Chain A
């Protein structure tokens, strides 16, 4: 029997109430994402892609429609249950990294493990492994302000990966990076896809979307096109991230 899709959205709508005005950010989105797929979600600002991302990340609930994650309906879960899903099933990467300042890379990466009650020794071990995986094994004690943007984003990716999630949600992860480090990050994402992690990437740059195996374009709260494409290989330049076999 075929595995159910990892992510399954059916007729999802999201309506925001701003006083008397109702604003429909999503107007009936259906989407299925399989395990290990590397999907880019594109669209102009206001197209609903951020709202879609928030729903996929269990930061918000749909107004109507169903959302199944790993076959489980999540649209009716409590806040605490959603927090648990964010903790164990989903990893977030943000445009502005969102690392805790004046806190070492290791402690930043440990953060999700704190909330799943992992003990100190295992926490350090797993955080160190995650940082080594993104090629920062020699920067464990560095603080964010001592690292370049690319390094900070890799710390953020290590943090997203440390609790072994099924889905990695990346919201404009290359928005604050130069093109060379952007390629590094994309190479890392492609590598994750090969190890079975599903990557969902929001971007407005076609260059970046080209590294994905599937591109979903949003406009006015609806999916306008959904195409699979041959992945463009991201080749890390010079001192790029060390990609594990």
Chain B
């Protein structure tokens, strides 16, 4: 008896008991569907986290000035100005992996409105900075490049600052705030950004054009940037490459010899992003493990029913043996029955798992992620489950004594 015949015999036997075959296969359907849906959920969550991190600036890094030294007391990064405005221009224009770069000058100072005052961080920067940070303006608008060029006295308030100076729900647009006794017009309020991973309030900030900052808040150093440069790479994946390019460019421009240390410092958030990604990967693994358990349960269900089936069909087995079936014919038939149940269940599971994943993706607003390797793995595994859990019942069937089997009531 060849395999094709065995397959037909097995399918016919399954068709004789449609309801039972359906219910047995259902275990595999749920197992495989669960694996596929769970992995899709995990991957969707991962993509979502990555997107969120990209929005927070996971593809962003910061360039700091070098450290001062020579007198024996090392000043720490940023204490020795080494970054020039020309460096910034070069980073902005010469590097392919850099999307935006913006200077950031910082000063802690007191702000005054008509009714209140608030000590906060004033940052002198350019409009690109908002793009680097992926930071939206909630009301009003950001200052523009022409504000930077003209050194106009305009300010963008963080949510916390707006609240402290003008009270909650007030509209600060067009109002005046005084920074070091210089009146600035509020042109916009930034969207809420929340806290940094270390508890720092991102919204406790005021942004003004970098030129105005130099003229009115803190004099600065003419050619050198008395602050940092914030850079965003074109994508999260190219952050590493962008950092390397920036480093190479700056070493080149600063004419550092090969064995000299960098006279600047680059810091990034990618470590945090990596940790987050690892977290969601753990989540995916966990979900897949839970789903794999349900696959296993499906396999045990198949074994259970196949064992019942062997007992119930003892007489059939006896008849088949009496008319010339060899032990291996019987074994193969029951093995193929279990395999067919498992694979059919697996295929239906793939379809329903994908539907569930698609539905969830739409409900959660994620991109639908189909991983062919997971589908192949799930179907392959269900086949393996069929053979693995079908083997014992099939073996049991093939070991029956035809005489006893024929007399079985």
Q: Which residues of A contact B (CB under 8 A)?
A: 54, 57, 59-60, 79-80, 83-84, 86-88, 92, 94, 98-103, 107, 111-112, 114-117, 159, 163
In the complex, the answer to whether A84 meets B16 with C-beta atoms within 8 Å is: no
22 A-B pairs within 8 Å (CB atoms) are namely A54-B403, A59-B322, A59-B406, A60-B403, A80-B326, A80-B328, A83-B321, A83-B324, A83-B325, A83-B327, A84-B324, A86-B321, A86-B322, A86-B323, A98-B318, A98-B322, A100-B16, A103-B16, A115-B324, A115-B329, A117-B1, A159-B323
Nearest B residue (CB) for A99 = B319
In the complex, the answer to whether A94 meets B406 with C-beta atoms within 8 Å is: yes
Nearest B residue (CB) for A107 = B12
B258 at the interface (CB under 8 A from A): no
Once bound together, how far apart are the Cα atoms of A102 and B324, in whole Å?
21
Once bound together, how far apart are the Cα atoms of A163 and B325, in whole Å?
13
Count of CB-CB pairs between chains A and B under 8 Å: 66
In the complex, the answer to whether B320 meets A115 with C-beta atoms within 8 Å is: yes
Chain B positions 314-340 with a Cβ under 8 Å from a chain A Cβ: 315-316, 318-329
Min CB distance B315 to A, Å, is 6
Min CB distance A130 to B, Å, is 13
In the complex, the answer to whether A98 meets B315 with C-beta atoms within 8 Å is: yes
B253-297 near A? 1/0 per residue, CB < 8 Å: 000000000000000000000000000000000000000000000
Residue among B2, B318, B322, B403 with most chain A CB within 10 A: B322
Once bound together, how far apart are the Cα atoms of A163 and B322, in whole Å?
13
In the complex, the answer to whether A101 meets B319 with C-beta atoms within 8 Å is: no
In the complex, the answer to whether A115 meets B322 with C-beta atoms within 8 Å is: no
Instruction: Point out the residues of chain A lying under 8 angstroms from B315, CB to CB.
Output: 98
Once bound together, how far apart are the Cα atoms of A163 and B321, in whole Å?
15
B402 at the interface (CB under 8 A from A): yes
Once bound together, how far apart are the Cα atoms of A114 and B326, in whole Å?
12
Nearest A residue (CB) for B322 = A92
In the complex, the answer to whether A88 meets B324 with C-beta atoms within 8 Å is: yes
Instruction: Point out the residues of chain B lying under 8 angstroms from A84, CB to CB.
Output: 324, 326
Nearest A residue (CB) for B404 = A59
Once bound together, how far apart are the Cα atoms of A102 and B316, in whole Å?
12
Chain B positions 386-409 with a Cβ under 8 Å from a chain A Cβ: 402-403, 406
In the A-B complex, the 9 residue pairs with the smallest Cβ-Cβ separation, listed nearest first, are A87-B324, A115-B324, A112-B323, A102-B16, A83-B326, A98-B319, A80-B326, A92-B322, A59-B402
Nearest B residue (CB) for A88 = B324
In the complex, the answer to whether B2 meets A80 with C-beta atoms within 8 Å is: no
Min CB distance B220 to A, Å, is 92
Would A111 and B323 be within 8 Å (CB), given that A98-B315, A103-B16, A117-B1 are in contact? yes
B1-18 near A? 1/0 per residue, CB < 8 Å: 110010001001000100
In the complex, the answer to whether B327 meets A80 with C-beta atoms within 8 Å is: yes
Would A101 and B324 be within 8 Å (CB), given that A115-B329, A117-B2 are in contact? no
Would A100 and B324 be within 8 Å (CB), given that A114-B5, A115-B329, A117-B1 are in contact? no
Residue among B318, B327, B329, B403 with most chain A CB within 10 A: B403
Once bound together, how far apart are the Cα atoms of A87 and B322, in whole Å?
8
Known: A83-B321, A111-B323. 10 other contacts (CB 8 A): A86-B321, A100-B16, A100-B319, A102-B16, A112-B323, A115-B320, A115-B325, A117-B5, A159-B323, A163-B324
Residue among B324, B402, B406 with most chain A CB within 10 A: B324
Instruction: Point out the residues of chain A lying under 8 angstroms from B1, CB to CB.
Output: 114-115, 117
Instruction: Point out the residues of chain A lying under 8 angstroms from B319, CB to CB.
Output: 98-100, 111
Chain B positions 175-206 with a Cβ under 8 Å from a chain A Cβ: none
In the complex, the answer to whether A79 meets B326 with C-beta atoms within 8 Å is: yes
